[in-house]
Structures are given as structure tokens and as C-alpha cells.
Amino acid sequence: MRQVAVGLVVLAALAGGGIVVMSAAQDVGEPEMAFELDWATFLGGESRDRLREVIVHPDGSIVVGGPFKSPGMPVSEGAVQREYAGDDPALGHGGIYGGDAYLAHVSADGTEIIAATYFGGSRQERGVYGMLLDSGGNVVIGGATRSPDLPTTEGSYRPAYGGGKADMYAAKLSPDLCELLWCTYVGTPQEEWPRGGIAPDGDDNVLIVGGTDSP
């Protein structure tokens, strides 16, 4: 008699603007994991869009995020930010150009966008250098920003842009991506850059890791 699977793992991987989701299962007594492609799709528009972070939701759906330069991506009714707000990639700025964060919650079978939003200011947001779900399913993102006008929330750690070439930022959005729960800069008048992502502690506080040129 064939024994039941002892483990089923859903794996999600990103390649540029693409999502690949696979299942891995292992039977009792079998030395090898068996992999199966569940689905794959592209997600992007007319400009340079990259997905950088992915979380497999407990219900099997996928939350993805990354820097997008395309306007017109699908967004939720009532999304935190329905329109692309970054500056025009054609401006150049010596590589410092364009880009908002874009977040999408994709159904477990890959056929539907459950929720989606842009997030960013009038200049460039670089990457989503870290993303997590808190204990309530809210989506926390961190990244780099050159925008002086992010929608920081009252009482946040750093409500104003620090300056220099860039700051880091962190923000928490509701599970349906329709409410901004908080947003703060993390920066100084020198340049900051996120590296190493973000992580939660046991109380849903968020650690964001990066570098700074500030002494």
C-alpha cells in the first residue's frame, strides 16, 4: 500500500516579472522529493518591471512585490495607491529614474489578482527589499526611496525625508492593500540603502536592515 505524503511544500520563485509556483511532496520511505509545476505567469507592463519579493500565504495564494516602472498595472478598487507616481524613466538621471513599489496578491491557482496597489512617491522607490506578513496578515514592505513625499503617517519614526541620495522606508498595508496602516522613512541627510531585508520580532515590530553613509 502506498503511504501518504508526509510533506507538501509550496515553492514560489521569481524571475524578472514572472512567477513560478511548484509543489514538492515526499512519501514515507521515499528518498527523493517529487516536484511538480503548479503554474507560472508573467506580471508586468510596458516598461521595466521586476518582482523581487514573494511570500506564500497560508491559504496558498502568493503575495509578490517589486519595483515597477509601468503605469496601468491592475490595482484594487480602493487600493492605497491606484496610479503610478514615480518620475518618468525616460528622464534618466544617470540611472536614478522612475519606479514605484508594486504589490499584488495572486490567487492560489494563479488565475486572479485578489488585491494590488502601487506604493511610492514622486521620485524613485528601489526594490521592495524585504516583505513580510504580520500576525494579522498585514503586508509590511521595506525599500529605498528618493521621494520626498511618501505618505508617512502621523507619529511615525521619521515622518520627513532625510535627504541625500536616498533613505530607507518601511510601510504596513492592510491585507486587502486598501489601507496604509503606517509608513515611515528611516534615514538621515546622507545616503541610506536597505540590505538584508526586514524581519518581525514576536510583537509585530519590524526590523529593517541596511547601510548608511551617516557617521
Residues near Ca ion (CB under 5 A) are: 162, 164, 167, 187, 192
Decide whether 164 or 175 has the Cβ nearer to Ca ion.
164
Residue 40, number of CB atoms within 10 A of its CB: 13
Which is nearer to Ca ion, 98 or 162 (by Cβ)? Answer: 162
The closest alpha carbon to 120, from 90, 89, 98, belongs to: 98
Q: From the CB of 193, what's the least distance to Ca ion, in Å? A: 9
Alpha carbon 116 to chain centroid, angstroms: 11
Question: Closest separation between CB of residue 122 and Ca ion, Å?
Answer: 16
Whichever of 60 and 164 has its CB closer to Ca ion, that residue is 164
Alpha-carbon distance of 213 to 192, in angstroms, equals: 7
207-212, Cβ contacts within 8 angstroms, sequence gap of 24 or more: 208/130, 208/142, 208/168, 208/170, 209/130, 210/129, 210/144, 210/168, 210/186, 212/187, 212/188
Which of residues 65 and 194 has its CB atom nearest to Ca ion in the complex?
194
Min dist CB 154 to Ca ion, Å, is: 21
Residue 119 or 161 having the CB closest to Ca ion: 161
- Shortest gap between Cβ of 148 and Ca ion (angstroms)? 10
Closest separation between CB of residue 196 and Ca ion, Å?
Answer: 18
Closest CA to 11 of 39, 31, 32, 30: 39
